[in-house]
Amino acid sequence: MPLGTPRQTLGPWPVIHCAAGRRILGESLEKENAVIVIRFRVKCQPAKSEELAQAFQKVLAPSRAVVGVISFDIGRDVDDANAFIATEVFEDAAARERQESLPEVANVMTLLPTALAAPPEATLFEVSSSSPAM
């Protein structure tokens, strides 16, 4: 599948797939033990912002406790208090599935259809290498 095309969905919304890192020609990312990084951004209606913030807050601790979740953060966009950005890093697809099956995540997913002011943005990256940024 070409990069940048929807490959999966998050609820009714498509997830864009991107690959990052170095690969040997002909070798798949799965063979390289690539981690999955998801960037998820939602813009909600101002009247729903605090309700959604509280729901996101309840997702953090259980998500971080899931086996295979390397990192899980959600914050407000500094340019828009009604927008939230999640950065999620998983060891593999199974870890992502375990995190997405949490009841706290299900609660957020039930709130999104009535809280959103625009379609969410979700991008999935398969990253095969990393190094310190500083």
Any domain includes 31: yes
> In the predicted model, what is the mean pLDDT of the chain?
84
Domain that holds residue 79: 6-127
Tell me the pLDDT tens digit for each residue of 22-76. 333 334 444 467 899 999 999 999 999 999 999 999 999 999 999 999 999 999 9
Here the CATH number for the domain that contains residue 97 is 3.30.70.100
Compute the distance between CA of residue 102 and CA of residue 62 in angstroms, rounded to an integer.
8
Position 43, amino acid: K
Does the residue 33 lie in any domain? Answer: yes
Assess if residue 123 is contained within a domain.
yes
Q: What are phi and psi of 117, to 5 degrees?
A: -100, -15
In this predicted structure, the answer to whether residue 9 has a pLDDT above a threshold of 70 is no
Overall number of domains in the chain: 1
What is the C-alpha separation between 53 and 36, in angstroms, rounded?
24
* Angle at alpha carbon of residue 100, lines to 99 and 105, rounded to 5°: 100
Decide if 107 is inside a domain: yes
